[in-house]
Amino acid sequence: MSFDRLIGKIIETQNPTVVGLDPKLEYVPEYIKEKCFAKHGNNFKGAAAALYKFNKGIIDQICDIVPAIKPQSAYYEMYGYHGVKCLYKTIRYAQEKGMFVMVDGKRNDIGATMEAYSAAYLGTTDVAGEQLEAFGADALTVNGYLGTDGIRPITDICKARDKGIFVLVKTSNPSSGELQDKLIGEDSVYSVMGGMCEQWGSDNIGKYGYSAVGAVVGATYPEQLAEMREKLPHTFFLVPGYGAQGGGAEGVAKAFDKNGLGAIVNSSRAVMLAYKKMEGYTEKDYAKAARAEVIRMKEDITAHIPEIKG
Amino acid sequence: MSFDRLIGKIIETQNPTVVGLDPKLEYVPEYIKEKCFAKHGNNFKGAAAALYKFNKGIIDQICDIVPAIKPQSAYYEMYGYHGVKCLYKTIRYAQEKGMFVMVDGKRNDIGATMEAYSAAYLGTTDVAGEQLEAFGADALTVNGYLGTDGIRPITDICKARDKGIFVLVKTSNPSSGELQDKLIGEDSVYSVMGGMCEQWGSDNIGKYGYSAVGAVVGATYPEQLAEMREKLPHTFFLVPGYGAQGGGAEGVAKAFDKNGLGAIVNSSRAVMLAYKKMEGYTEKDYAKAARAEVIRMKEDITAHIPEIKG
């Protein structure tokens, strides 16, 4: 129920961070690309093979110390259906290695279509009587602009299958305030959306006090993080924007509760490109460099939050 | 530039409607499914083959009288990467038949990731120096909750490659008002979003007076349609919710300007399932029934709007 599975892994690893696997081809070391293009050609199949090899290397190096990965669907879809197949294989591989997988797809639609997205990412699809998992992730990011009937189908699946969602509340990008900070009466749009998350999750709260309906709140807006943490006591936060986008550990700390729980902080580029930025690594060591960056990030964040307690 | 290509096709066919190809397996006639499952097995590959055959049949029957199709990505993603390959093939096939293809994906993200979605659906992806189209659609629906920097990357692609987007403004579902109808000062959230569409498109207005940044405004809210048509003179509307969701032709008419332009009305289920609902058709005639429903819909809508003039 709820985000208990994810929180359990966070407690186990004592690490409230998630690695965003958003593998643009330009991030992938040359030796991997050369091999894959030689085998499959300079095409999407070759690209997808390179991305998968890159992802596997990182997952192998981090699966014992990081609770989760967050593949961002756009970076797979840009390589066509071969890229989407790579997304599927990445999800499966990380789960085999014991990781919790949240697909960052920010999906949204009216009820009937949201059922299809729910089936696609967290549920099953009926094919001639067989119930098959299309992607079989553990959680999905969604956009709540359409209101309750665009969310209810996926919370039903979350309840039935022990999965979770993260709804966009206050995003990490510079212009997020254009709509999200506007005031509806005395409340901001992001706060109204946050209130809906609290409501949507209210019938499915787990043993750590958090529901299956989380919220995306950006590390780049620490004040809003603090405000939301206080106003949304049962809503677990996915916090993007740490590192490359400018969010620091002190700000990020505001997303956590007194038990060191309540949030998971994402880092993508800094981990994937650690081999280019940290000293002493060549591209052959990209996965080891990723592990080193993950450890650095974990230490940076846990130094700023209360001890993580179950 | 802008939506001129689409509007040109609407004038040519004298038909301001688009067929939503959201092919759930249960909509596909048994004889198609039997053949595909026998060949590929009761799996996603078999399902995707059936969906593609179904789509092709409909496209063949409507391509001379309908300007566009709108495949909804959720209904392909629920069949895994095989389903996504079927989406790609459907886009290509419809374009070969001269149709304008708008992918209904309601994508949204921060700037860097929106670049990836833009490349995926409307642009090209660099693979070892080759510029390849991942999906190569003509337009994409997007969600503007993240503000300008989540939209600008895709309007740049629209300009460079003569494509368009439709931003969710007022959606057709029952609970769309929960956020969208809330007042920001004296303006509703949907109206603020509509104003942003007008702004985002302002530097790219075509010969019919419409930009490349359209808006999704539901047929189920005729008053809001009329309000938006008046407030957003350069924003072309994609109008879902006609038919199965309850929107009628009189309401839909409010989306159009005095030249019978300014909007395109979508119908999905009523077309795909026409063979089950119209008299005199068996499942073997599903595509002919779809054509008959398309003609009925065109006549219903054009009877309520001014003559379509270029």
Average pLDDT over residues A53-63: 98
pLDDT value, residue A94 = 98
Structure-token pair, residue A246: 């400018």
B272 CA: distance to closest CA in chain A (Å): 15
Q: Which of the four pLDDT bands, split at 50, 70 and 90, describes residue A134?
A: very high
- Give the mean model confidence (pLDDT) for residues A96-101: 98
> Choosing among A22, A32, A77, A107, which should be mutated to test the B contact, i.e. which has the most B CBs within 10 A?
A77
Start-to-end Cα distance in chain B:
16
Flag if A106 and B110 touch (Cβ within 8 Å).
no
Question: What residue in B sits closest to A38 (Cα-Cα)?
Answer: B128
Q: Hey, which residues of A are catalytic here? A: 106
Per-residue pLDDT of B253-289, as tens digits, reads: 999 999 999 999 999 999 999 999 999 999 999 999 9
Whether B78 sits inside 8 A of A117 (CB atoms) is: yes
Nearest by CB to B125, from A79, A193, A240: name it.
A79
Mutation choice for B interface testing from A84, A91, A192 by most B CBs within 10 A: A84
Mean pLDDT for B29-58 is 98
**Using the beta-carbon criterion (under 8 Å), do B117 and A184 form an inter-chain contact?**
no
Residue B225 phi/psi, 5-degree rounding, is -60, -50
Asked if B180 lies within 8 A of A147 by C-beta distance, the reply is yes
The band of B243, judged by pLDDT with boundaries at 50, 70 and 90, is confident
Across the interface, do A145 and B179 touch by the CB < 8 Å criterion? yes
Distance in Å, alpha carbon of A16 to nearest chain B alpha carbon: 23
Please name the member of A132, A171, A196 whose beta carbon is closest to the beta carbon of B44.
Answer: A132
Kindly give the residue spans of alpha helices, DSSP state H, lying in B122-164: 152-161
Which of chain A's residues have a Cβ under 8 Å away from the Cβ of B192? Answer: 179, 182
CA distance B108 to B161: 20
Nearest-CB residue to A108 (from B22, B85, B143): B143
pLDDT of residue B33: 98
Would the CB atoms of B173 and A47 count as touching at under 8 Å? no
Confidence of residue B244 (pLDDT cuts 50, 70, 90): confident
Size of interface A-B (CB pairs under 8 A): 228
Domain boundaries, given as residue ranges, for chain B: 4-302
Over range B51-78, report the average pLDDT. Answer: 98
What are the Cα distances from residue A110, in Å, to A65, B23, B105, B174? 38, 16, 12, 9
DSSP-derived 3-state class of residue A205: coil
Q: Which CATH architecture has domain B4-302?
A: Alpha-Beta Barrel (3.20)
Q: Measured between beta carbons, which residues in chain B are less than 8 angstroms from residue A192? A: 179, 182
Q: Give A167's pLDDT tier (boundaries 50, 70, 90).
A: very high
Nearest to A81 among B84, B177, B192 (CB): B84
A176 → closest Cβ in B128, B147, B183: B147
- What are A213's strand-pairing partners? A165
pLDDT reading at B1 higher than 70: no
pTM of the predicted model, to two decimals? 0.98
Distance from CA of A280 to the nearest CA of B (A): 27
Nearest CA in chain B to A85: B81
Nearest CA in chain B to A120: B78
Give the model's confidence band at A224: pLDDT under 50 very low, under 70 low, under 90 confident, else very high. very high
CB contact under 8 A, A175 and B43: no
The predicted structure's pLDDT at residue A243: 83
> Could you tell me what percent of chain B has a pLDDT over 70?
100
Examine the pLDDT at A286 and tell me if it is beyond 90.
yes
Asked whether the beta carbons of residue A189 and residue B193 sit closer than 8 angstroms, the reply is no
Q: How far is A289 from chain B (nearest CA, A)?
A: 23
As a whole number of angstroms, the distance between CA A98 and CA A83 comes to 23
The β-bridge relationship of strands B187-188 and B139-142 is: unpaired
* pLDDT, position A1: 60
Cβ pair B171:A143 closer than 8 A: no
Measured over all CA atoms, what is the biggest interatomic distance in chain A, rounded to whole angstroms? 60
For B119, the closest chain A residue by CA position comes to A78
Mutation target for B interface from A124, A145, A176: give the one with most B CBs within 10 A. Answer: A145
Contacts of A133 (CB under 8 A, 6+ apart): A123, A124, A125
Summarize pLDDT for A256-270 with one digit per residue, the tens. 999 999 999 999 999
φ and ψ of A125, to 5 deg: -120, 135
Given B43, B127, B149, which is nearest A174 (Cβ)?
Answer: B149
Q: DSSP class of residue A247?
A: B
Beta carbons of B178 and A196 less than 8 Å apart: yes
What's the mean pLDDT in B184-211? 96
Taking an 8 Å cut-off on Cβ atoms, the answer to whether A135 and B177 are in contact is no
CA B193 – CA B166 distance, rounded (Å): 12
**What is the maximal distance between C-alpha atoms in chain B?**
60
